[in-house]
Amino acid sequence: MTTFWLLAPIMVIAALGLIFSRKAVHAALSLAVVMISLAVLYAALDAPFLFAVQIIVYTGAIMMLFLFVLMLVGVDASESLKETIAGQRLAAAVIGLIFGVTIVLAVGQTVSGAVTGLQAANGNGNPYGLSELLFGKYVLAFEFTSALLITAALGAMVLAHKERLTPRHSQADIAARRMREYAESGRHPGPLPTPGVFARHNAVDTPALLPDGTPLASSISSSLVARGQVRGGFDEDVDKVVNQLEDEEESFGGEK
């Protein structure tokens, strides 16, 4: 009981942080605290199998999956809060309320009444008793749950898959397109020059220099030029750079 009263407030605070955190990273860390606390409670209740599963599967594998998704998507990515299904929030609130009441009633009955059959179920050890229940009395429910999880995973893959409407361009196709644009509009087929090449500094606000010493317009971001933030020493050439950028935008249809 001491372990429960020590970890229960921490788990509640972490769960609230999971719900109300504005950043996905903070929510993931709160979820990790809840999972680790659950594992400790399982160990305190003499359930070594559930303790190992909670640490290895959930805290280890599932949390690593969440963190990989956060790294791929980015912590600054935000989702649209506009409902795509009418009444979705109301249904979620009702179902969540029913689930919460069910959990409270189940915990209340467990605390108020004595748990029977636990010693008989764990007579040969917790893993043996758990496996006997899963693959014996509740094998049908266990298989249905497995099929449901597999169906959910396949459904997520189908929903996340996007059909390609245009053929994939190979490296040769991209090179041919760049050469065609070079022949038609004079757009250079290679990448843009790096800021600071052959200049006194390699900062993004330092224009690259041509062989005759004049700055190259395409090496500086148009926003820096518009704000007048080109590095000093080239002030006399800023107007020339602006004119070159405007000419390039007109010739390329607004694309740099």
Report residue 161's pLDDT band, with 50, 70 and 90 as the boundaries. confident
User: Tens digit of pLDDT for each residue in 205-216?
Assistant: 666 777 776 767
- What mean pLDDT, rounded, does the chain reach? 76
Highest mean pLDDT range out of 156-165, 200-209, 217-226? 156-165
In this prediction, residue 195 carries a pLDDT of 59
Query: Would you give the DSSP letter of residue 139?
Result: H
Could you tell me the pLDDT band of residue 65, with boundaries at 50, 70 and 90? confident
- Nearest CA to 46 out of 138, 131, 119, 135 is that of 119
State the average pLDDT over residues 84-110: 83
pTM, whole model, 2 decimals?
0.45
- Higher-confidence position of 149 and 197: 149
- Predicted confidence at residue 196, as pLDDT, reads 55
The C-alpha angle with vertex 206 and arms to 202 and 210, in degrees rounded to 5, equals 95
Query: Which residue, 254, 232, 233, 230, is CA-closest to 242?
Result: 230
HSE-up of residue 42 (Cα within 13 Å, Cβ side): 17
The reported pLDDT for the residue numbered 57 is 84
Domains recognised in the chain with CATH numbers: 1-75+125-142 (1.20.120.1200), 192-256 (no CATH)
Q: Which of 103, 129, 135, 107 is nearest to 117 (CA)?
A: 129
Beta bridge partner(s), residue 215: 209
Cβ 219 vs Cβ 197: under 8 Å? yes
